[in-house]
Amino acid sequence: MTETITTDVVVVGGGLGGLSAARHLQVQGYDVVVLEHHSKPGGYAHYFRADGYRFEVALHALDGLGSNGWARPMFDTLGILESVEFNELEPFYTVSFPDFSVTVPTGIDEYVERIAEVLPDERDGVRNLFDAIKQVGHDVARYTRDRASGEHFDQMEMVGRYPAMAMAFSSSWSQFVDRYVRSTEGKALVATLWGYLGLPPSRLSAGQFALTLLSYHTAGAWYPTGGSGAMSFAIKDKIEEHGGDVRLRTTVTAIEVMGPQHVTVSTDKDLVVEARAVVSNASPSATAALLPPGAMEPEWLDDVQSDVAALSTMTVHLGVARDLAADGWDHHEFFDMVGYDFESEYESILKGEFTDVGMIVSNYSVTDPACAPDGKTALVLTVLAPWDHNDVWGTGGNLKEYQENPGYIATKEAAGQILIDRACRLIPTLRDAIEVVRIGTPLTNVRYIMQPGGSIYGREQTVQNMMERRKPTTPIPNVFLAGAWIGGGGMTAAVGSGKSAAKAVHRYLGSTTG
């Protein structure tokens, strides 16, 4: 028999965007139901277990969580600051280039000095760069305050009132950085984190990257005990504690808008949810596909269908029967850079040439020791990766039972082996101690998270896209969106998008009657 639940707002997808929307809505007094396809909450913010190890699926470093951080008030509203322990990463990371390595602290002054130790001629340039970045942050903070107090300006007025913000959001990172830093090495060093946004400096929004750097270097880089999954479970618990319902292993198959303040959401289980509004954590085009044909305005549909998905990832999760930190490999985050030209690396990523791309080596046991048995290490190797490598990872595009497809297995293992060999060159004691290997590809991301192309950041974070961000509203008044496709990539951004969606739903529900 079909179960029907009635609620105020139904949330499709329990990634961080969806969970945050649900919890923010509860705080505003609404009943919520979250429907999540996967067996765990959190979307990318989760873990999996294998042979005694608990492996992080995604998170390397959260930004914005320091006492002065932009994301902290939201995490407070989610109610998880007490139940989850957040550990500050200090130093933040180590980056190794062919000619030098730098261990990067979070403090800006200390970071500038560390750069000056290897590139003395760049001291002033990098300092000026960070002054310019702070100016962008200052303008964005003023803009946010002005917006919150109801002020609106046209484009020309915006340029006059917030010049640093306007300049950064209309430039690529390479245009922005060229004003301050001269050497190829210096430019590469300050762009180390480009992979955190998924586009090379010539295509990446300077505004977005500047805010990311500012957030990490003023409010710290963080990793929770228990991994990102601990946050997701904590938010789910809060939602349930306050009477909400989070249904896992439940895939939404259709959304029907019956009228103002009335939507019906169907699932692959014998479960239907009737609600006043729906928030979707699926991509905008996937959300449109859940609606009946013709339900969405064609112009909006064309627009969202033209979005290019950001890159995906390949991850190699290694269970290592040694304490690698005791061997001297005590980096939570280590960037193994093959050169200084990130434009050509990006081309190599698109071609699936994984020998020629920057790789992150993360020893999660340093920050979260319980993720591996005593005396052992959970090590994860990560590279950005395209969806269509080797004809969709050796499947020819046939995703039916792809995990058993010999073409897929061979392609995945060959690519994974490249990363393992690279890591073994970096860490001499690694090879003989590997006892667990699990490789994730863009296809894995689609299977578990249902993101188009396995995208990890929603749509590409280009200059244009970040200047013209998508809104949480859609042409259908009671259909809303949350997640990386709306708020930008990254976990704190996804949480922020959930907050914005909740605000938009509240505006709608408060102004109309059913």
Cβ proximity to ligand FAD, 58 vs 177, nearer residue:
58
By beta-carbon proximity to ligand FAD, the closer residue of 58 and 304 is: 58
Give the residue, chosen from 215, 377, 382, 474, that forms a contact with ligand FAD under the rule CB under 6 A: 382
The angle, 0 to 180 degrees and rounded to 10, between the axes of the packed helices 16-27 and 228-241 is 30
Shortest spacing between CB 457 and ligand FAD, in angstroms = 5
Task: Compare residues 131 and 270 and give the one whose CB is closer to ligand FAD.
Answer: 270
Distance CA(454)–CA(309), nearest Å, equals 8
Q: Which is nearer to ligand FAD, 279 or 372 (CB)?
A: 279
Which helix H or strand E contains 439, and what residues bound it? strand 434-440
Question: Do 303 and 267 form a contact (C-beta atoms < 8 A)?
Answer: no
Residue 403 to residues 373, 399, 440, 447: CA-CA distances in angstroms? 28, 8, 11, 10
Tokens representing residue 81 in the block: 């600051």
Point out which span in 201-209, 281-289, 293-301, 388-396 binds ligand FAD (CB under 6 A).
281-289
The DSSP symbol for 219 reads H
Q: In the bound complex, what is the minimum distance in angstroms from residue 282's beta carbon to ligand FAD?
A: 4
CB burial of 40-50 (b: ≥16 within 10 Å; e: otherwise) equals bbbbbbbbbee
Separation between Cα atoms, residue 98 and residue 84, nearest integer Å: 38
What is the separation of C-alpha 105 from the centre of its chain, rounded to a whole number of angstroms? 22
d(CA 293, CA 272) in angstroms, rounded, equals: 20
Q: Which positions from 30 to 69 touch ligand FAD by CB under 6 A, shown as an x/- string?
A: -----xxxx----xxx------------xxxxx-------
Task: Report if residue 416 touches ligand FAD, rule: CB under 6 A.
Answer: no
Stretch that binds ligand FAD, among 24-32, 388-396, 465-473, 483-491 (CB under 6 A): 483-491
116 CB-near residues (< 8 Å, 6+ apart)? 122, 123, 126
Which secondary structure element, helix H or strand E, spans residue 383, and what is its range? strand 377-385
Closer residue to ligand FAD in complex, CB, 132/484: 484
- The site that binds ligand FAD (CB under 6 A) totals a number of residues, namely 40
CA–CA gap between residue 279 and residue 261 (Å, rounded):
13
Q: Which of 8, 15, 127, 226 binds ligand FAD (CB under 6 A)?
A: 15
Residue among 9, 10, 16, 115 that touches ligand FAD (CB under 6 A): 16
Size of the chain in residues = 514
Per-residue x/- track, 246-275, ligand FAD (CB under 6 A): -----xx-----------------------
Radius of gyration, CA atoms only, the chain: 22
By CB under 6 A, name the one of 126, 484, 504, 509 that touches ligand FAD.
484
Beta strand extents in 321-358 (DSSP E only):
334-336
15 vs 200, which CB is nearer to ligand FAD? 15
Residue recorded with tokens 């490999």: 329
Considering beta carbons, is residue 94 or 135 the nearer one to ligand FAD? 94
Q: How far is the CB of 152 from ligand FAD (least distance, A)?
A: 27
Q: Minimum distance from CB of 226 to ligand FAD (Å)? A: 16
Tell me how far apart the alpha carbons of residues 237 and 20 are, in angstroms, rounded to a whole number. Answer: 12
Site string for ligand FAD, 435-464 (x = CB under 6 A): --------------xxx----xxx------
Q: Of the candidates 232, 281, 348, 411, which one interacts with ligand FAD according to CB under 6 A?
A: 281
Among 287, 281, 311, 306, CA closest to 442: 311
Indicate the residue among 15 and 79 with the shorter CB distance to ligand FAD. 15
- How far apart, in whole angstroms, are the C-alpha atoms of residue 103 and residue 165? 29
Site for ligand FAD, rule CB under 6 A = 12-18, 35-38, 43-45, 58-62, 251-252, 281-282, 286, 313, 315, 382, 449-451, 456-458, 483-484, 489-492, 494
